[in-house]
């Protein structure tokens, strides 16, 4: 490695597309308190905190693969003794002649506290100097000049921070739009009618749903809720969305295959990093309007409610733990047979403030309403609920009329 690069005032590493470190400069080695031979050949997860591992695997590496580079992304490194080092990373795989490796510049940004502390010390020295004797005036002038220099540096860092916040907000807004546009549209025909509602508690949501017409009489409906909120949950949600979109189109579709596929995906996603593990609740329904039959599996999700034309209600209870929580879970399909038309209500735990003790009579008392009217009244009821903002959650529900 070139001596100038090896001793550059910032970290440098090269890695393969799957994250294996192939080259690292001495600056980064010393920053992390490792030896060079301890890093080369290892996966980059070795020097990342758990949230950063997830961010790199699900966002940074795919973005580099798509666009060829990233600029000024914030992640946190983990030193050999466990200390956390915030950095900005610039990475690119453009103009690389060998192996298409990704080259990364890593700039530590932990100097902000240092500058703030120095600023407070300088201020105190200035106040002391003002009260001192006349012979301290010359020393005071030096201190004031240092204070001015440090203030300018702090303002520069603050400007960089504000720019970073603006860019992050812009990226989150783009991700939110992508997430919302991926949602499938409700189905309306002579056999079935649907209405949906979807609202994220933050920019990004851990809830996702999919609605599919498989043939003239069969419909697949899935609703998932990934643990937590924000970027990590949203990234997992989108990966699950892409998977069940594929699974539900496969030949020989069964409810068990779909749920088993999603469960396996979550276990594979976190098999090398248990600390970053996420799980999700899910309910999947396969509705056959010709057989008048609903096959379903509920994996730790709030019970869906069915009410037939006579007002008889049935809960589609959870029968297995959430997806990704335990390995080797056996998924068994449950079946609901119906004789006449009825209404189904599926929802995530963000609608739980209403409670099943409220939803049962609500469903019965408003059975005469059309689906749009029913949805409007349910939203009015949700908006009137007094919910602790500290416990706010994504809100999503699906209403289905089977004719």
Do 105 and 117 fall within a single domain?
no
Tokens of 297: 């599996």
**pLDDT at site 128:** 78
- For residue 357, give its domain range: 184-402
Give the burial class of 132: count Cβ atoms within 10 A of its Cβ; 0-12 exposed, 13-18 middle, 19 or more buried: exposed
Instruction: Tell me the average confidence (pLDDT) per consecutive run of 10 residues in the chain, 403 residues long.
Output: 90 93 95 94 95 92 91 93 93 71 91 68 79 74 84 83 70 59 85 90 74 93 82 77 84 88 87 71 95 95 93 93 90 93 91 71 92 93 63 78 93
Do 36 and 118 fall within a single domain?
no
Do 264 and 351 fall within a single domain?
yes
In whole angstroms, what is the distance from residue 104 CA to residue 15 CA?
Answer: 8
CATH at 55: 3.30.450.20
Do 48 and 160 fall within a single domain?
no
Query: Apex CA 276: angle with CA 178 and CA 246, to 5°?
Result: 45
Contact partners, residue 208, CB within 8 Å, separation at least 6 = 179, 182, 183, 223, 224, 226, 237, 238, 240, 241
Cα distances (angstroms) measured from residue 113 to each of 116, 202, 383, 390:
5, 29, 42, 29
Do 125 and 100 fall within a single domain?
no
Do 325 and 295 fall within a single domain?
yes
**pLDDT at site 149:** 85
Q: For residue 59, count other CB atoms closer than 10 A to its CB.
A: 18
Do 316 and 373 fall within a single domain?
yes
Q: What is the pTM of this model?
A: 0.56
Identify the DSSP state of 62. Answer: H
Identify the DSSP state of 100. Answer: T
Do 104 and 145 fall within a single domain?
no
Of 142, 175, 208, the residue at which a domain comes to its end is 175
Task: Please name every residue paired with 86 in a beta bridge, in sequence order, or none if there are none.
Answer: 76
**pLDDT at site 392:** 47
Do 249 and 380 fall within a single domain?
yes
Query: Apex CA 254: angle with CA 248 and CA 258, to 5°?
Result: 50
> Is 211 in contact with 219 (CB distance < 8 Å)?
yes
Do 366 and 266 fall within a single domain?
yes
Task: Please name every residue paired with 385 in a beta bridge, in sequence order, or none if there are none.
Answer: none
Do 255 and 132 fall within a single domain?
no
| Residue length of the chain | 403
Do 219 and 332 fall within a single domain?
yes
Of 109, 144, 159, the residue at which a domain comes to its end is 109
In the chain, how many domains are there?
3
CATH at 201: 3.60.40.10
In whole angstroms, what is the distance from residue 225 CA to residue 282 CA?
Answer: 6
């Amino acid at each position: 490695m070139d001596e100038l690069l090896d001793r550059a005032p910032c970290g440098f590493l090269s890695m393969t597309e799957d994250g294996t470190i192939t080259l690292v400069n001495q600056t980064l080695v010393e920053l992390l308190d490792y030896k060079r031979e301890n890093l080369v050949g290892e996966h980059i997860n070795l020097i990342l905190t758990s949230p950063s591992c997830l961010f790199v695997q699900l966002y940074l590496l795919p973005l580099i693969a798509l666009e060829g580079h990233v600029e000024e992304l914030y992640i946190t490194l983990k030193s050999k003794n466990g200390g956390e080092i915030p950095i900005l990373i610039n990475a690119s795989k453009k103009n690389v002649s060998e192996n298409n490796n990704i080259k990364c510049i890593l700039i530590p940004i932990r100097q902000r506290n240092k500058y703030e502390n120095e600023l407070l010390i300088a201020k105190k020295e200035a106040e002391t100097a003002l009260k001192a004797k006349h012979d301290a005036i010359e020393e005071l002038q030096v201190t004031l000049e240092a204070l001015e220099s440090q203030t300018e540096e702090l303002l520069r860092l603050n400007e960089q921070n504000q720019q970073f916040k603006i860019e992050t907000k812009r990226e989150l807004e783009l991700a939110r739009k992508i997430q919302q546009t991926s949602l499938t549209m409700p189905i309306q025909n002579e056999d079935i009618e649907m209405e949906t509602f979807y609202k994220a508690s933050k920019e990004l949501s851990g809830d996702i749903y999919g609605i599919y017409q498989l043939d003239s009489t069969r419909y697949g409906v899935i609703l998932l809720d990934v643990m937590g909120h924000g970027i990590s949950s949203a990234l997992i949600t989108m990966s699950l969305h892409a998977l069940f979109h594929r699974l539900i189109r496969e030949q020989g579709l069964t409810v068990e295959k779909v749920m088993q596929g999603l469960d396996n995906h979550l276990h594979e996603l976190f098999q090398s990093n248990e600390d970053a593990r996420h799980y999700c609740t899910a309910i999947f329904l396969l509705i056959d309007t010709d057989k008048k039959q609903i096959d379903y599996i509920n994996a730790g999700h709030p019970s869906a409610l069915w009410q037939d034309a006579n007002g008889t209600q049935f809960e589609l209870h959870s029968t297995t733990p959430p997806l990704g929580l335990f390995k080797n879970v056996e998924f068994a399909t449950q079946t609901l047979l119906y004789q006449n038309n009825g209404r189904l209500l599926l929802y995530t735990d963000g609608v739980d403030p209403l409670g099943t003790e409220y939803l049962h009579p609500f469903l019965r008392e408003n059975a005469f309403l059309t689906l749009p009217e029913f949805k409007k009244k349910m939203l009015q009821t949700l908006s009137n609920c007094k919910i602790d903002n500290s416990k706010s959650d994504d809100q999503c529900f699906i209403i289905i009329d089977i004719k």
